[in-house]
Amino acid sequence: MRKIIAQHKRLMGKYSSLPAVDTVQAQAEIALLHSLADVVPQAVGEFCKLPQQIAKANAFPVKAVDRRRWLEFMGYFLDTVTEKSNLPLSGLARANTLQVLRIFSSRIMGQFNPFSLENSATERKYPPTLYLLAPNISAFTARYDLEYSDVARWVYVHEFTHALQAAIAPWVPDFILENTTILFSQNQETESHEALQAKDRLTSVMTILEGHAEYVTDHIDKSVIPGRDEVKEALNHKRTHGHKGEKLLAKLFGFDKKVQQYRQGNHFVATVVDKIGMEGFNRVWESPAMLPSVVELAAPELWIKRVSEI
């Protein structure tokens, strides 16, 4: 707790035009993040028409962390994924990957990790966890002159939607891992048909995961996120206006594709829900075969027609 509070104060101190965050304020903000566990899960589960999955999703740990702690868990993530996939990752490659993540860590306000992780040094295991980067939420709130509770609620709703996805579709982590393994075990200079198929499957599942979470934050009752419109406007600005160096790195490492996934996935979910309801959309979680193809992502009516015949 003290480390998170200290990073609150250091981070906010970098912006001379912004008020410093004192210990009392930081403690109150972190307490608010944890208190949302009493509000958000029920609202998200009911909106998604998945009330039976609320308890399972709510059982995942929720951690308010600073950037250093989040990067530590990302290190465990890299180690776990490379071990399970049998993909080689040298010490230098691992360090370089973490350095890239460190550069972008100031932009991340929350993350749900669906994988079970392990610290190889201590053999300590960590279950799928919802992370809230408290200092970043505070900095984003101050930078765009928003209400802290609105930003915190938006982040919690978005990430808890991912937790709900993990509860209803436990096959997703292995599906991502299997296709990542196929993709990166191929010759990168000449992609095989198998690698191209794996890339399409990864595009499909990631677009659905992110688009669904985006749709939920956009359409859930405003009593859950009273200042949703202001938060959304600020997020759109954050996603499209960044440091030129950051934007170049984002393009080089594929992080810019996440914004495209938000938009295309959001459109797909909105179209499907409008035509066959949220219960109809939820068929996507039944199995990998129910995921839309890349073609169906762009033409949701084709997916609706296909699943109606199954």
Give the ranges where 18-147 is alpha helix by DSSP (H). 23-35, 40-47, 54-58, 67-85, 91-104, 134-143
pLDDT for res 230: 96
Mean pLDDT of the chain: 84
* pTM for the structure as a whole: 0.85
pLDDT for res 47: 98
Residues 6+ apart with CB under 8 A from 303: 268, 272, 292, 293, 296, 297
**What average pLDDT score do residues 42-56 get?**
97
**What average pLDDT score do residues 208-225 get?**
96
C-alpha distance from residue 200 to each of 14, 143, 213, 243 (Å): 41, 37, 20, 30
pLDDT for res 168: 97
Which pLDDT tens digit goes with each residue over 254-265?
A: 555 667 777 899
Give the ranges where 88-169 is alpha helix by DSSP (H). 91-104, 134-143, 148-168
Q: Which of 93-107, 140-154, 259-273 has the highest mean pLDDT?
A: 140-154
∠ CA 63-65-66, nearest 5°, is: 175
Instruction: For residue 254, give both structure tokens.
Output: 């594929």
pLDDT for res 166: 96
The DSSP bridge pattern shows strands 117-119 and 124-126 to be: antiparallel
Residue 57 predicted with pLDDT over 60: yes
The DSSP bridge pattern shows strands 62-65 and 129-133 to be: parallel
Residue 241 predicted with pLDDT over 80: no
**What average pLDDT score do residues 96-118 get?**
83
Which pLDDT tens digit goes with each residue over 19-35?
A: 445 566 778 888 888 88
pLDDT band at 188 (very low <50, low <70, confident <90, very high): low
**What average pLDDT score do residues 162-182 get?**
93
Residue closest to 40 by CA, chosen among 147, 161, 165: 161
Cα–Cα distance for residue pair 192/183, rounded to 1 Å: 9
Cα–Cα distance for residue pair 177/271, rounded to 1 Å: 29
Cα–Cα distance for residue pair 28/7, rounded to 1 Å: 15
Percent of the chain at pLDDT > 70 equals 82
- Phi then psi for residue 259, to 5 deg, are -65, -40
Residue closest to 261 by CA, chosen among 203, 304, 220, 199: 203
Residue closest to 297 by CA, chosen among 213, 235, 193, 212: 212
Cα–Cα distance for residue pair 122/99, rounded to 1 Å: 23
Residue 238 predicted with pLDDT over 50: yes
pLDDT for res 189: 60
CB 12 within 8 A of CB 142: yes
Maximum separation of any 2 CA atoms in the chain, in Å? 60
pLDDT for res 125: 82
Residue 11 predicted with pLDDT over 70: no
Residue 88 predicted with pLDDT over 70: no
